[in-house]
Chain A
Amino acid sequence: MNAVERGSLVRVENLTMRYTGAPKDSAPILRINQWEVGRGEQVVLLGPSGSGKTTLLHLLSGIRAPTAGRIAVDDEDISALPESRRDLWRSRTVGYVFQNYYLFSALTTLENTEMPLMFAGVAAAERRAMALQILERLDLSGKISSHPRQLSAGEKQRAVIARALVNRPRLVLADEPSAHLDAQRRRMLFELLRDLVDQNGSTLIVATHDPELANLFSKRAAMGQFR
């Protein structure tokens, strides 16, 4: 194993992504010959609307499979994993902050936060302790019994982040994680997310179309290069 391989958490090779139904001869949404993200790195994906940011994050989380190519995360070739193994792998390895909130309306903040741990097979008592801990970090201790409809936009966004980080994932994917907030809160949220990821030693990939936010990151990837 060479040094580069040990140092990279995400490796994408010869990837092509074309949505089914698109004409065979049309240009793919994504074409990546070689792309790596190192362990512990924080990378921003910058590109305009429709440039394929969400698509790339879906591929990295294994929710969607590429048309061709190989994606390895933590030396696991996820495109080769059978689907059920990939689901379990995701519950243990990936934290995903979706572009929209996507909290379960039927569940409280605490229950929403515990969810990835449940699918990872963590025992109930431990689940609760871990969820309470991360909610505390995100200043949501007072809202653990609230349902999503009782939360403000900012609280919902933090709850989503809590859920993404609760399983201490090696890879955190965040899709426009502050789209619904004002500029100041957006900046605060970003700082918080970066801090938490840093403390876990996780790797962060954030997607945004906002160059100002992208400037907060030292490592940037323009979506334009993936065409």
Chain B
Amino acid sequence: MSFIDDIRLASKFLRDRILSTALTILSVASGVALIVWLQGVTGGVREAFVRHATPYNLIVGAPGSPVQLVLSGVFFLDRPVGNISRDVYEELKNDPAVDRAVPIAMGDSFRGHAIVGTTKEFFDPLPGEKFPLRLRAGRLFNGNFEAVIGARVAAETRLEIGAQFRSSHGFSGGEQHAEPMTVVGILEPTGGPRDGAVYCSLESIHEFHRHANEYAESGGTAAPNQMTAVLVRPKDLTALPLLQRQIQMSGRAQAVFPTSALYQLFDTLEIWKRVVQVLCWTVVAVALTSVCITLYSFVEERAADIALLRALGASRTRITRLILIQSLLLSLGGALTGIALGHGLMAVLGGVVQSFTGVDLSWSVMTGWEGMILGALGATGLVFGAWPAWRAYRVAAAEYLA
């Protein structure tokens, strides 16, 4: 099996120059890791955000940016766009085409977690919902200032049933409310953004702000006749377009399909992803140049070794093959190391993303993509190895031997 012999021999020559071999592999790996990481992050984020978007088909809120409405009303990430009148909610609730309309009132926070005023319907699972909300302990809120906390809030704040805490105005450490809230329920984790919020009744939110008129100016929901958004699910999906158009036409509110708003966001990000992708491949190309240089200097410095191989009976084509195999080992070694590194980076980043957004990225092994990287690097590795291989082919054995 001369091919296996050649692979062994090539790897021994590489090991003999372990420092330059390691550096070359590392430089290829860093480029590949960036590519894998970028692809994984963008793909994973997109998939996870869509997966965890919401079981509701429509979100209704104040006119403004549709993306901001979705990020605030569904992911509790952004500030609310503004307030809508309670009438909008009442009308939707009574609309015969609507199966369920759930109100959301935001504006307060507790240690960075949004306080969400809503109704108990918010917790009722919808048919076919992938990540339904379930209580892990306690019960849902009844009276004022009773709170149900998401799993991540529970984990981070270590609040237990019966514990009391004070929420603050706004989203980042504003003035604290005088009235404490009491934890009455803790939710099971869903892996989605709802794990990171604190839930209470609409009335609680309004009670908080009874004496805080200045608060209305900061964009939060203050008056009892106001709320941030309404999550809507129609009885029949075919009624959805008409429902959306009616709300849009009313001028009092905007109605957004959460997934299409997300896709709109991702499409904007896609351009930047392309730019970064080109940069990543440039890094890889530069790294492959170093494969070429490493092998070229090997051929130059070890011409006597190559001559000796010839003298011991290796043909020119065999010598060429030995150099090309070294090139493949360097580029594929770099690719594999890079893929591993990229996944490592993603795991780290997955944790970071989850702690900020509550979205569980749960990385899939993207076999197709990795296979493509390996194939691309194998092919370009051969191309970049061609020049040193040609030099090795041309070594005149007798000139180096005495």
**A residues adjacent to B (C-beta < 8 A):** 54, 58, 61, 63-64, 83-84, 87-88, 90-92, 96, 98-100, 102, 104-107, 111, 115-116, 118-121, 124, 163, 175
Contact = CB atoms under 8 A, between A and B. Distances in A.
Contacts of A54: 402
Given A58-B401, A63-B401, A87 B12 contact: no
Which of B15, B316, B402 lies at the interface centre, i.e. has the most chain A CB atoms within 10 A of its CB? B402
A87 B397 CA distance: 11
Contacts of B311: 61, 63, 90, 96, 98
Given A104-B308, A106-B15, A124-B5, A87 B314 contact: yes
A91 B318 CA distance: 13
Contact of A119 (B316, B318, B402): B318
Nearest to B401: A98
Contact of B398 (A63, A83, A92): A63
Of all A-B residue pairs in the complex, the 6 with the closest CB atoms, nearest first, are: A91-B313, A106-B16, A119-B313, A64-B398, A87-B315, A99-B402
A88 B317 contact: no
A98 B15 CA distance: 26
Interface string B1-23: 11001000100110110000000
B304 interface: yes
Which of A54, A88, A102 lies at the interface centre, i.e. has the most chain B CB atoms within 10 A of its CB? A102
A132 to B, nearest CB: 18
Given A98-B308, A104-B305, A106-B15, 15 more contacts: A63-B398, A84-B315, A84-B316, A88-B313, A90-B313, A91-B314, A96-B311, A98-B402, A102-B304, A106-B13, A106-B16, A107-B12, A119-B313, A124-B1, A175-B402
Nearest to A92: B313
Nearest to B6: A118
Contacts of B16: 105-106
B402 A100 contact: yes
Nearest to B4: A124
A92 to B, nearest CB: 7
Contacts of A116: 312-313
B100 interface: no
Which of B15, B305, B311, B314 lies at the interface centre, i.e. has the most chain A CB atoms within 10 A of its CB? B311
Contacts of B304: 102
Interface of B: 1-2, 5, 9, 12-13, 15-16, 304-305, 308-318, 397-398, 401-402
A90 B307 CA distance: 13
26 contacts: A58-B401, A61-B311, A63-B310, A63-B397, A83-B315, A83-B316, A84-B317, A87-B313, A87-B316, A90-B313, A92-B313, A98-B308, A102-B308, A104-B305, A104-B308, A106-B13, A106-B16, A111-B12, A115-B312, A118-B2, A118-B5, A118-B9, A119-B312, A124-B1, A124-B5, A175-B402
Given A83-B315, A91-B313, A115-B312, A121 B2 contact: yes
Contacts of B15: 106
A133 B267 CA distance: 70
| Chain B interface, >50% SS class | helix
Contacts of A64: 398
Contacts of B316: 83-84, 87
A96 B317 CA distance: 21
Nearest to B11: A106
Given A84-B317, A106-B12, A121-B2, A91 B312 contact: yes
A170 to B, nearest CB: 14
B397 to A, nearest CB: 5
A88 B317 CA distance: 12
B58 to A, nearest CB: 68
Nearest to A98: B401
A90 B401 CA distance: 15
A137 to B, nearest CB: 19
B398 A58 contact: yes
A194 to B, nearest CB: 22
A104 to B, nearest CB: 6
Contacts of B5: 118, 124
Nearest to B313: A91
Contacts of A92: 313
A92 B312 CA distance: 9
Nearest to A163: B312
A175 B311 CA distance: 14
A100 B317 CA distance: 26
A163 to B, nearest CB: 8
Nearest to A111: B12
Nearest to B15: A106
A102 B15 CA distance: 19
A178 to B, nearest CB: 15
Contacts of B12: 106-107, 111
A35 to B, nearest CB: 20
Nearest to A99: B402
A58 B310 CA distance: 12
Contact of A87 (B13, B305, B310, B398): B310
